[in-house]
Chain A
Amino acid sequence: MRRIGDAPAVRRVLIGAAVVLSALFLLLPLVAIFAQAFSQGVGVFWSNVSNTYTLHAIALTLGVALLTIPICLVFGVALAWLVTRFSFPGRRLLQTLIDIPFAVSPVVAGLIYLLLYGRNGWMGAWLDSHDIQLMFAWPGILMVTVFVTCPFVARELIPLMQAQGSREEEAAVTLGARGWTLFRRVTLPNIRWALLYGVILTNARAAGEFGAVSVVSGAIRGQTNTLPLHLEQLYQDYNTVGAFASASLLALIALLTLAAKATLEWRASRREAFI
């Protein structure tokens, strides 16, 4: 007896197509990035990477990502808690609103922030009079990055917390647990893997964000240039090796993220098998 769809011809065609497509669209570009970056030798690559502007871009990108993560973490946990543990009018609407940053094009998000907080924006005059510059400075970059990445943690947590229900928390309360103890000892251990997964996704997106950041940063070299923006500038200046050197750094961040994600998934599946 043969299972449906298990004919050798079908199997070969499907596997073959999968291999060819992954090679063509995923593996080849990745190899090309590193090949281009090192095309003129390690020395040139290194001089491009250790260039002041590139180093500044790396620092800015990582700094923004490091600030984004805790903000999104707190926001995501609070939102997931609110949506899954309380029932109030507008709860469903809120659950839909969470997805706005995913639905809206990042460029549009950047423009909205510019419109609100820019020098000629609605809050511009007030900000100006208090000598606060948000747009075309790192706070603006941080703001749009948070906007673009804020759904990740909540989206990971909500389905999990819905499935787990609030019984364990109720049990903990009947046993006398108070707010923070309750969260630390009962809620957090149950959601920690999903939380970490959300953080990884947040980090990947925060480091790679281009559209929204390009609108609000002004792309001033050595000041408000993040790695993706820096890369684009180098490319526009026909510095292919420099552009690809930066691209290889971004690709490296992506690969590390994937590795972390795979490790988490592997651990999760092992935990399930164990239980």
Chain B
Amino acid sequence: MSIHLHNIGKHFGATQALEPVNLDIHESELVGLLGPSGSGKTTLLRIIAGLENADHAREPGKILFGERDVTNVHVRDRRIGFVFQHYALFRHMTVYDNVAFGLTVMPRKRRPSSGEVRSRVFRLLEMVKLEHLANRYPAQLSGGQQQRVSLARALAVKPDVLLLDEPFGALDAKVRQELRRWLRHLHDELNFTSVFVTHDQEEALELSDRVVVMSNGRIEQIDSPETLYRVPKNRFVFEFLGDVNHLEGRVRNGVLTCGDARLTVDLPDGHEELLLRPHEVRLAEAPSPESHLPVTITAISPVGAEVRVELEADWLAKPWLATVRHADFERLALRRGLRLYVHLRQWHRFPEAESKAPEQRHVA
């Protein structure tokens, strides 16, 4: 079921947790709300759930599930499934009773028979691969298992939308990976509309059909993971989605200088700051006519698909990070203390004045 938010904002006392936002989530879409802590993402999710009320603004906000206006509908009648960061399982109930809870508290008219409850609970437990633990208590399960119970519990009432608040935040890296993939499969299989909150860019980009990037109670950008990564709308989005290297200096006659570093750029005179991703940095043994950017290697981490190299120089305020293919790493015989030259494959620029203006890209 689709979700439409119109002019939804929230104050806590004098602080504005969420500026009035509009958001459309399509039927059977998996959307991630991504942002640093305090960006308003959890507040937005809780407002969709009905656990929090939106502000009463002059132009009142509206929340629609499909055609149904749920703005003033109580949480218990919104037909949502909510998965909490710390699971919030009923600690005094077995796994079975936890999953069955939503079915057994239904009004008598709609409540399924006990046999039906039983078969539905076991079908869900089978789906989350926990049917052998039905009689355990939550405290006897691992974090990953508890989160799966919590998901089964939320799905038991056949919600219109599934909302997840940092669902994998409290789990270790490996379990998180596994559960992420599993949730993606489950979503593709069952085709429900879901919204999840995360502060982990990787998680948001890997899991979502579309990502809503938020900061300071504002929506910065809504796009597919590819678009978001390739065409960030502003500096915040660019910086939040991955590691960033900064190059600051003065441009005169098409040359940017900073200490003994020089780079030919096609920009008007003035102060400039260029941003680039680690993979946009290329290391070479010699400078070129366009770029003279001497650096020294200070740290090397060869773990993973690429080698991560930390670079320092007098002209850099903060060290740079470069990713190098293992083949190049061996060819250049990189080691700590080696002095090299940097060439830029590509750089980005977000003019200060209008932060909302689209980025400018330059391919070298």
Contacts and interface: CB of A to CB of B under 8 A. Distances in A.
A174 B92 contact: no
A275 B140 contact: yes
B303 interface: no
Contacts of A175: 76, 101-102, 105, 153-154, 156-157
Contact of A174 (B49, B91, B139): B49
18 contacts: A168-B91, A170-B51, A170-B84, A171-B88, A171-B153, A172-B90, A172-B101, A172-B105, A173-B51, A173-B76, A174-B80, A175-B76, A175-B105, A175-B153, A176-B105, A176-B106, A185-B105, A189-B93
B90 A168 contact: yes
B81 A178 contact: no
A186 B101 CA distance: 10
A168 B88 contact: yes
B112 to A, nearest CB: 13
B196 interface: no
Nearest to A175: B102
The 5 closest A-B pairs by CB, nearest first: A175-B102, A167-B88, A174-B82, A171-B88, A189-B92
Give the secondary structure class of A's interface.
Answer: helix
Interface of A: 167-168, 170-178, 181, 185-186, 189-190, 275
Contacts, number: 64
Contacts of A171: 82, 84, 88-90, 150, 153
A190 B92 contact: yes
Nearest to A166: B88
Nearest to A170: B51
B90 A186 contact: yes
Interface of B: 49, 51, 75-77, 80-82, 84, 86, 88-93, 101-102, 105-106, 137, 139-140, 150, 153-154, 156-157
A172 B81 CA distance: 11
Nearest to B86: A167
Contacts of A167: 84, 86, 88
Contacts of B91: 168, 190
Contact of B76 (A174, A186, A275): A174
Nearest to B153: A175
A174 B75 contact: yes
A99 to B, nearest CB: 27
Contacts of A181: 105
Contacts of A186: 90
A173 B84 CA distance: 13
Contacts of A170: 51, 82, 84, 88
Contacts of A173: 51, 75-76
A176 B84 contact: no
Contact of B102 (A168, A176, A178, A275): A176
A178 B76 CA distance: 8
A171 B75 CA distance: 10
Q: Which of A171, A177, A186 has the most CB of B within 10 A?
A: A171
A275 B137 contact: yes
A172 B156 CA distance: 13
A193 to B, nearest CB: 11
A178 B93 CA distance: 18
Contacts of B92: 189-190
Contacts of B154: 174-175
Contacts of B150: 171
Contacts of A177: 76, 101, 105
A176 B153 CA distance: 12
A168 B146 CA distance: 14
A86 to B, nearest CB: 14
A149 B93 CA distance: 33
A171 B88 CA distance: 7
Contacts of A174: 49, 51, 75-76, 80-82, 154
Nearest to A174: B82
A142 to B, nearest CB: 34
Contacts of B156: 175
B139 A275 contact: yes
Contacts of B88: 167-168, 170-171
A270 to B, nearest CB: 14
Contacts of B49: 174
A174 B49 CA distance: 8
B120 to A, nearest CB: 14
Contacts of A176: 76-77, 102, 105-106, 157
B243 to A, nearest CB: 34
A189 B98 CA distance: 14
A68 to B, nearest CB: 28
A172 to B, nearest CB: 7
Given A170-B82, A189-B90, 6 more contacts: A168-B89, A170-B88, A171-B89, A173-B75, A176-B102, A189-B93
A167 B86 CA distance: 9
Contacts of A189: 90, 92-93
A177 B93 CA distance: 15
Contact of A178 (B105, B139, B153): B105
